[in-house]
Amino acid sequence: MLNHIFTDWATIKSKEENDIMIRYSQRGLLLTLSYTLHALITGILMISWPLVPPILDILMPLNESRKRMFIYPAHYFVDHEKYYDILAIHMIIVMCMAGFVYCACDANYVYAVQHACGLLAITRYRFRNVSEGVLDHHKNDTKLSKFNYRNVCKSIQAHQHALRYLRLIETNHHTYLFISVGMLIMCICVSLLQVANEKNDSWLVQCIFLFAQLFHTLILTGQGQFVINGLDSVFDSM
């Protein structure tokens, strides 16, 4: 898919079409940065959550030390208190690795979809220009010129190229999206139950995690709506 993106950028000669691709690439960059920023903030908040009890022991000491917390509920076959530092480091490493994988895969998917939306926008632009040329020729009672006929062919080819690229995205991501969205739905259900039932100190962590899951779902499912809007705009331009 990346090779297709490089090839598409290299073949664009028109300034108007280049501006269209720049606009959609900037939107893709904005979406990926927003997603990465939300993942970074969520990760920092969850990683720093176990630091709350030691800080409270310093600021508002009690007769005994507060119970130390983990980033997420987990059961290890060792003494949690004795090996707390090792277990906490392991959780941080696991969480960071999972976050890096999600950010890399989702950013690639989002940018590929926005590139496809840019190709659809170019198709819409070409069809609209062809229609204007046809109207002018009908007003002059002359036949459609070879130039306009060539533009119609180029518009159809651009549409077919955009559809092929969309099928390529679907082929490369359907398994990943099935697993990712399925896990998201299960995690959201579990998080909603925990938020509704838990009234202890971990309630805030569950709320933060739930918000991150909802935003993640919005980013993944919103790409489909972008494609639908792009296809509808091409249809309206014909």
Q: What is the pLDDT of residue 111?
A: 92
Burial of residue 223 (CB within 10 Å: 0-12, 13-18, 19+) is buried
How does pLDDT run across 98-150, given as a tens digit for each residue? 888 888 889 999 999 999 999 999 988 888 877 555 555 455 555 556 767 77
Burial of residue 189 (CB within 10 Å: 0-12, 13-18, 19+) is exposed
Nearest to 67 by CA among 58, 57, 77: 57
**143 conformational bin, left if phi > 0, alpha if psi -120 to 50, beta if neither:** beta
Quote the radius of gyration of the chain (alpha carbons, Å): 26
Nearest to 234 by CA among 129, 149, 128, 147: 128
Please give the residue that has the higher pLDDT: either 131 or 70. 70
Question: Do residues 148 and 137 touch, judged by C-beta distance below 8 A?
Answer: yes
Q: What is the pLDDT of residue 137?
A: 47
Please give the residue that has the higher pLDDT: either 112 or 208. 112
